[in-house]
Chain A
C-alpha cells in the first residue's frame, strides 16, 4: 500500500531521518512510535508531499511520491488525508463550512447534496449538534473530530493521524481511538497513527513501528513489540507498562 525506502532528511545540517524503511499494509492500523523529536511528524509530512526528502522513495499506487510535481501531488493528496495535531480547522468558518470545504472545492455535488454528505460525516464523528459552531468554540476532542470529518470528506484511501490523542484526557483518548477504529472499518481505510502512547498502540494497532535515531529499529504486531529485543524499544515498553501498573495500583488503592 505505502512503501517507504531509505528516506533521509536533514534540517540545517542536522539529520532527522537517516534511512527510514517501512511498509504500511493496506487497510491496516499502523502506529509509528518513538521519543520526542525523532522525526515522526517529519515522516508524515513526507508521505503527503509537504516535505521533500534529501534521499529515498515513498511508493504509493505504483508511483514514487517524492518525485511528483506539485500538480501531480494534488491528485495524490485527494487519496491521502492528514489529520493535524491541532486539527488545523479554518477558524473563520463554522464546523459545517470546514467539512464542506473539500467538497465545494473538488466535487461536482449540488449544495443540497453537500449538505447531506456533511451531515452524514458529522453524524459519523458524533458532532452533528456542533455544526454551526466555530472552531474556537470547540473543545480539543471536538476539534479533532471535526477535522476527522473534514479529512473523510474526500473519501481518502489513507489517513495519517499526527498525535490524535495528545492533550486529551484518558477517557477521551479511548473515545477518539475507538472512533478512528470504527471509521477505519466503515470506510475501509489505511490508518497511520503517530503517537507516544504505547498502551493505546498495543490496544488498537495491527502494526507498530518504532522510530529511533532516524531509523525504524523495530516493527511488527503488538505482541512482537511487547517482547522487542532492541534496548530502546524495551525501555520504552517497560516504562509504559510500568506507568500502567502504577496507574492501576493507584486506582485500586483509591477505590
Chain B
C-alpha cells in the first residue's frame, strides 16, 4: 500500500500538470485574437528569447556538428563508408540535433528566466495588480511570449542546422581529409526537404511547449522566494525532458 501511494500521487500530479499546461496553452492561444494586440511586447520577447540566445545556440551547434563528424567518421571508416560523412552529419543535425539542442539551450537560457520572472511577479502580487487594472495577465504575459518562441525557436534551429553542418564540414574536410565535392554531393543526395522541414516543424512545437511550461510554472508559483526557485527548477526539468520525449513521438509520426 505504502509502495503504491507515492506512485499514485505522482501520477495524479502528472495528470494535473498535463491538463493545466494544455488549458494554459489553449487560453494563451485564444487570447491572441483578443485586442489589444501586443506587437511591441511580442518583438521584445523575440529579442529576449531569440536574439540573446543565438550565441549559445551557435556554439552548441558548432561543437555538436564537429563532434558528430568525428564520431561518425570513426564508425564509417570501419567499413569504408567515410564518403557519406557529409550526408550523415547533415541528416543528424537537421532531423534531431538542430531542433533538440536549440530548444534545450533556449530552455536553459530564456525559459528559466521567464519562469523566475513570472514567478516573482506572482509572489509580489504583480499578477493580481494586472487583473485589478483590468489587464488579462495571460494575454499580457504569456501570449506574446508564446508567439515569439514559436517564431524564434525555428529560426534558431535553422541557424543551428547551418552552423552544425559547417562544424561537421570543418572536421570532415579540413581535419579528416574528406574531399569537399564528395562531402557536399553526399549531403545533397541524402538530405531531402522533409528532413529539414521535420526539424523546423518540431522546433515550432518545442518553442510553444517550452514557453507554455515555463510560464505555467511561474504563473502558479507559491511559497515565496523558495517557491519561485522550485517553480523554475520544475519548469526547466519538465521542459527539457518533455522536449526529448516529444522529439521521439514526433519523429515516429514524421518518418
Listed in ascending order, the chain A residues whose CB lies under 8 Å from chain B are: 48, 50, 70, 74-75, 77-78, 81-82, 84, 86, 88-92, 101-102, 105-106, 150, 154
Contacts and interface: CB of A to CB of B under 8 A. Distances in A.
A84 B133 contact: no
Interface stretch (B123-131, B148-156, B166-174): B123-131
Interface residues of B, number: 15
Contact of B134 (A50, A75, A89): A75
Interface string B102-127: 00000000000000010011001110
B134 A74 contact: yes
A101 B131 contact: no
A88 B128 CA distance: 8
Nearest to A153: B133
B135 interface: yes
Contacts of A70: 136
Contacts of A48: 131-132
A84 B125 contact: yes
B134 A88 contact: no
Contact of A86 (B36, B124, B135, B136): B124
A150 B117 CA distance: 21
A69 to B, nearest CB: 12
B135 A105 contact: yes
Nearest to B120: A91
A105 B132 contact: no
A156 to B, nearest CB: 10
Contact of B126 (A50, A81, A91, A105): A91
Contacts of A50: 128, 131-132
B131 A88 contact: no
A101 B133 contact: yes
Given A50-B128, A88-B129, A102-B134, 9 more contacts: A81-B132, A84-B129, A88-B125, A89-B129, A90-B126, A91-B120, A105-B134, A154-B133, A154-B134
